[in-house]
Chain A
Amino acid sequence: MNPVRKRRLVITLLILGAVAVATALSVFALQKNMTYLYSPSEVDAGKAPDGHPFRLGGIVKEGSVHRVPGTLTTDFVITDRFQSIPVSYTGILPDLFRVGQSTITTGSMKDGKFVATQVLAKHDSTYMPPQVEQAIAKAEKEHRVPKTTQGGGAP
C-alpha cells in the first residue's frame, strides 16, 4: 500500500471509529435520559413508570394551591379535567405559574403524590401538551368545567 493510501485508510478508520463511539454514546445517553410526559388520566390508568422520574402535564386546578407555612413547599393539584393528581414542590415557582394555566412538572410518584423537582411554565403561555389539550377540549364540550380564562400572554 502506498503511503498516501495508508494515510487515508488510517484517517478514515479514525473517523469511522470516532463516529461509531459517538453514536453508541449518544444512543446510550438518550435511552438513559429520556423522560416521558404523561397526563393525569394516563398516570391514573397506571401508565406512568413507578419510582422513575417522568413529566406530568396539565392545568393547575382552581383553588388547589396551598403553601405549607414557614417553608418553600407548595402543594397543588394538576388536572386534565378528568383525573387530578396532587403535586408537592419545594422551591420558587416560575413567574408563569398560575391557577388555570398549563404547567409541566418533572418528578416522581411517592405515596400517591407527585413530588416535583422542577416546575416549568414556558415563555409560551399558550402551550399545552396535546394529550392534556385533547382531554380539556373534551371536558369543555361536556360542560364539566366553565371555560378557563387564559392569561393575557402573547399569542
Chain B
Amino acid sequence: MNPELGQVALILALVLSALQCVLPIVGAWRGSRPLMATARSLAIGQFVFVALAFGILMWSFWTNDFSVAYVAQNSNLSLPWFYKLSAVWGAHEGSLLLWMLILNGWTLALVVLGGKLPEAFFSRVIGVLGFVAFGFLLYMITTSNPFLRQFPVPANGVDLNPVLQDPGLVFHPPTLYMGYVGFSVAFAFAIASLLGGELKSTWVRWARPWTNVAWGFLTLGIVAGSAWAYYELGWGGWWFWDPVENASFMPWLIGAALIHAQAITDKRDGLRAWTLLLSIFGFAFSLLGTFLVRSGLLTSVHAFAFAPARGVFILVYLAVVVGGSLLLYALRAPKVTGGKSFALASRETLMVIGNLMLTVACAMVLLGTLYPLVGEALDIGRISVGPPYFGPLFLILMTPLVLALPFGPLSRWGKADLKVWRNALVRIIALAITAGIIGFIVGARSWYALLGITASVWVMAGVVLFAIKRWREAPRGKRYPFEMLGMMLAHFGIGVFIAGAILTTSMSVEQDVSMKPGASVDVGAYDFHFNGVTETEGPNYRAQQGTVVITRNGKHVVTLHPQKRTYSGGQVQTEAAIEAGVFRDLYVSLGDAIGDGAWSLRVYDKPFVRWIWGGGVFMMLGGFVVVLDRRFRLRRAVEPEAVRAAPEAVVPPKLAEGEA
C-alpha cells in the first residue's frame, strides 16, 4: 500500500477535525439540531481516516518499505515481526500517530456510549475533542510526518533501538497513552460545561467513569514502564526520577486528585471550581508529558535549535490549550460556587488534604523536572536535579496523605463522628505496631524497613476496617457497590505499593563483583556460582551468555542466563536474568570481560520488588471497577432532567458569550 495514501488520510482527518471542532459547537450555541448532529459522523469519519493512516504505517513496517524514512530509521530486515509492528510507535512521529488513534478511539467510545447525554452538551464535548485532535494532526502533518519518503532507498534499515526491543514496548506506550489521552475526556467535559455556562454539576457524574478508566490505564502504563526499566536497563532499579518518568507521573498525581475531587462534587456538590481546574490541569500535564518526552526537549535543549518549528509549535499549542482553558475558567468559574457545607472533621476535609498533597507533590515534581531547562535558558549552567531532591520531598509530602488515608472512607460526609475516628485510630495503631513487631521478629532490622511495614499495614488496616464496617452496617447486596469496591482496591494497592517500595529499597542486597568461572559469591542467604560465558545467537543479535547457578543452603534454587547482546546495528544491550518470586527477585546482569577470564557481574537479591507493581495493578483495577457502578449508568431517568436542562443550557451561553 502506498505511504502517500496515509498522508492523504491524515490530511482528510485534519479537515474533519477542523469541522468537528467548529460545527457541533456552533450548533450547540445556535441550538441548531442539524449542526449538532454532525458531531457523530465527523468523529467516526476522523477515526476511520486516522486508523487508515495507522494501518498503512504498520503495513510499511511489515513490508520493510525503507523508502519511508521513519521505517528505515526504526526497523530492520532481521527484526522479529512483533517488534516490527510495535516499532510503529518506537519513535517520535509514529508515537504521535498512536496518540491520535487513541484520541479518536476515546472519542468513538464517547459517541457509542454517550448517546444519552444531553445533545448540546454532547456536541460541545465532541467539539472540544475535535479541537485537541486538530492541534495534534496539524503538528504531525507540519513538523513530524511519519510518511516522509527518502531517496535513495537504503537496502536495510538502521534497526529499532535495542532498548526498545522488549515486550515492554509492545504494551507500555499504548497503555500510557490510553491514560494520557483519556484525561482529554474529563477535560472536554469540563470545558463543555464551562462553554455552556452550565451551573449544574451533573456533568461531573458523567465524567467520573472516564476519569477513572483513564487513570487506571495511566497506572498500568507507568507500572509497565517501571517494570521495563527494571528488566531492560540492567540496573535493577524501578524508578529513577528521570524527566521522562516524571512526565508520566505528574498527570497521574493530578488524576488521582481529580478522581477524589470529582467524587466530592458528584456527591456533595462541593469543590466545583476545583474539580474544573483539576480537569484542565490533568490534561495539560498529559500534553506536557507527551511533548516533553517526544520532543527531546528534556534530554537536550537542542531540540529547539534542531527543529525550531517543533518547539515553537509545542509552545504555541500548549499556550492555546492551557491558556484558553484557564481564561474560560476565569470568566465562568466564579459563578460555580456552592455545595453542601462540611465541618472541619469530615470526609471532605480529609479528601481535601489528600488533594492538596497530591497537587503540591505534582508541583514539586514539575519544579525539579523543569528547573534544569530554566537554568539552561537563563545561562546559569547545566544543572541536574536527581533522586536526592525528589525522593525525600515526595516522602515528606505523602506522609500526611498516608496518615489520613484510612480515615477518609471511615468518616461521614459533612461531619465525622469523632468516636468512630478514635476507635479506628486505636485499632489501626494496634495493627500497625503488631505488624512492625512481627516484621522485626521475621528479620527486618533497619528502621526504614520497619517504617515501611507499619505504614503499609496502616493503610491496609484502614481498608479492612472499612470492609468490616460495611459488612456490619449495610444490608446484604448493598454492602460493596462497585464504586466502593474500586476505592477499596486502589487504597489496598497503595498499601501493597508502600510495602514493596520501602522494603525493596531498604532490604535489597546489591553487589558488583568480578568473578572468574568457578567462583562463588554470597548475596544475602543465597550463593551465586559463576560457570563462565558462552556465545549464542538470536534472530538479530549475537550474545555472550553467562551461566550462574544459585543455591541456598546447598540446595539448587535456579540457574540463570544473563546475556550481553550485540545487535546487527552494532548496539550493545544487557539482558538481565531474573528469577521472579512473590517475596523476592534474584537478579543477575552481565558486565564486561575484565581480563584473565574474569567477568564483572551485577548480582542482586531484591525482596518484595514485585509488590511495587502489584500495588499498581490493584490501583488500576480499582480505577476500572468503579465504572461498573450503577450510579454511572446513563438511565432513561436522566432524560427528563436533560430535557429540562436543555433550554437552560442552550440559551444562557448566548448571553454569556455576549458579555465575554
CA distance A67 to B592 in the complex (A): 11
Q: What are the interface flags for B325-368 relative to A under an 8 Å C-beta threshold, 1 for contact and 0 otherwise?
A: 00000000000000001111000010010001100100110011
Question: A4-12, A80-88, A108-116, A137-145: which one contacts chain B?
Answer: A4-12
Inter-chain contact A10/B397, CB cutoff 8 Å: no
Within the complex, what minimum Cβ distance (angstroms) separates A102 from chain B?
11
| CB neighbours of A155 from chain B (8 A) | 73, 158
Within the complex, what minimum Cβ distance (angstroms) separates A151 from chain B?
6
Q: Which chain B residue lies CB-closest to A96?
A: B572
Inter-chain contact B572/A95, CB cutoff 8 Å: yes
| CB neighbours of A96 from chain B (8 A) | 571-572
| CB neighbours of A11 from chain B (8 A) | 349, 352
Q: What are the interface flags for A49-76 relative to B under an 8 Å C-beta threshold, 1 for contact and 0 otherwise?
A: 0000001010000000001011110000
A7 contacts which of B344, B357, B368, B396 (Cβ < 8 Å)?
Answer: B344
Inter-chain contact B383/A37, CB cutoff 8 Å: yes
CA distance A94 to B234 in the complex (A): 8
Q: What are the interface flags for B484-525 relative to A under an 8 Å C-beta threshold, 1 for contact and 0 otherwise?
A: 000000000000000000000000000011100000000000
| CB neighbours of B601 from chain A (8 A) | 92
Inter-chain contact A92/B600, CB cutoff 8 Å: yes
Inter-chain contact B91/A154, CB cutoff 8 Å: yes
Q: Which chain B residue lies CB-closest to A25?
A: B393
Q: What are the interface flags for A8-19 relative to B under an 8 Å C-beta threshold, 1 for contact and 0 otherwise?
A: 001100110011
Q: Which chain A residue lies CB-closest to B384?
A: A35
CA distance A20 to B580 in the complex (A): 44
Given contacts A22-B360, A154-B160, contact A29 B393 (CB under 8 A): yes
Query: Which of B91, B384, B386, B592 counts the most A-chain CB atoms under 10 A from its CB?
Result: B384
Inter-chain contact B384/A124, CB cutoff 8 Å: no
Within the complex, what minimum Cβ distance (angstroms) separates A130 from chain B?
7
Inter-chain contact B386/A152, CB cutoff 8 Å: no
Inter-chain contact B234/A95, CB cutoff 8 Å: yes
Inter-chain contact B570/A152, CB cutoff 8 Å: yes
Inter-chain contact B364/A22, CB cutoff 8 Å: yes
Residues in A1-51 with C-beta less than 8 Å from chain B: 3-4, 7, 10-11, 14-15, 18-19, 22, 25-26, 29-30, 32-37
Within the complex, what minimum Cβ distance (angstroms) separates B628 from chain A?
33
Within the complex, what minimum Cβ distance (angstroms) separates A132 from chain B?
10
Inter-chain contact A91/B299, CB cutoff 8 Å: no
Within the complex, what minimum Cβ distance (angstroms) separates A66 from chain B?
10
| CB neighbours of B160 from chain A (8 A) | 154
14 residue pairs bridging A and B, Cβ less than 8 Å apart: A7-B343, A22-B364, A22-B397, A36-B382, A37-B381, A69-B596, A70-B596, A70-B598, A93-B591, A124-B299, A127-B299, A130-B382, A154-B91, A154-B160
**Contact count band on B:** 35 or more
| CB neighbours of A93 from chain B (8 A) | 591-592
**Tally of A-B Cβ pairs under 8 angstroms:** 127
Q: What are the interface flags for B145-164 relative to A under an 8 Å C-beta threshold, 1 for contact and 0 otherwise?
A: 00000000000001111010
- Besides the known contacts A7-B341, A92-B600, 17 further A-B residue pairs in the complex with CB atoms under 8 A apart: A4-B341, A7-B343, A15-B356, A18-B356, A30-B385, A35-B384, A37-B383, A70-B514, A70-B598, A91-B512, A92-B592, A94-B234, A96-B571, A124-B300, A127-B299, A130-B382, A152-B569
Inter-chain contact A72/B600, CB cutoff 8 Å: yes
| B interface, CB within 8 angstroms of A | 73-74, 91, 158-161, 163, 234, 296, 299-302, 341-344, 349, 352, 356-357, 360, 363-364, 367-368, 371, 376, 381-386, 388-389, 392-393, 396-397, 512-514, 564, 569-574, 589, 591-592, 594-596, 598, 600-602
Q: Tally chain A residues at the interface, Cβ within 8 Å.
A: 47
Within the complex, what minimum Cβ distance (angstroms) separates B382 from chain A?
4
| CB neighbours of B367 from chain A (8 A) | 26, 30
Inter-chain contact A154/B383, CB cutoff 8 Å: no
| CB neighbours of A153 from chain B (8 A) | 161, 569, 571
| CB neighbours of A18 from chain B (8 A) | 356-357, 360
Inter-chain contact A36/B360, CB cutoff 8 Å: no
CA distance A96 to B602 in the complex (A): 17
B161 contacts which of A36, A123, A130 (Cβ < 8 Å)?
Answer: A123
Query: Which of A33, A71, A151, A152 counts the most B-chain CB atoms under 10 A from its CB?
Result: A33
Inter-chain contact A152/B571, CB cutoff 8 Å: yes
Q: Which chain B residue lies CB-closest to A98?
A: B572
Please name the 8 residue pairs, one residue from A and one from B, whose CB atoms are nearest each other, closest first.
Answer: A37-B382, A92-B591, A33-B389, A33-B388, A154-B161, A22-B360, A152-B570, A95-B572
CA distance A3 to B344 in the complex (A): 10
- A129 at interface by CB-CB < 8 Å: yes
| CB neighbours of A154 from chain B (8 A) | 73-74, 91, 158-161
| CB neighbours of A90 from chain B (8 A) | 512
Inter-chain contact B296/A92, CB cutoff 8 Å: no
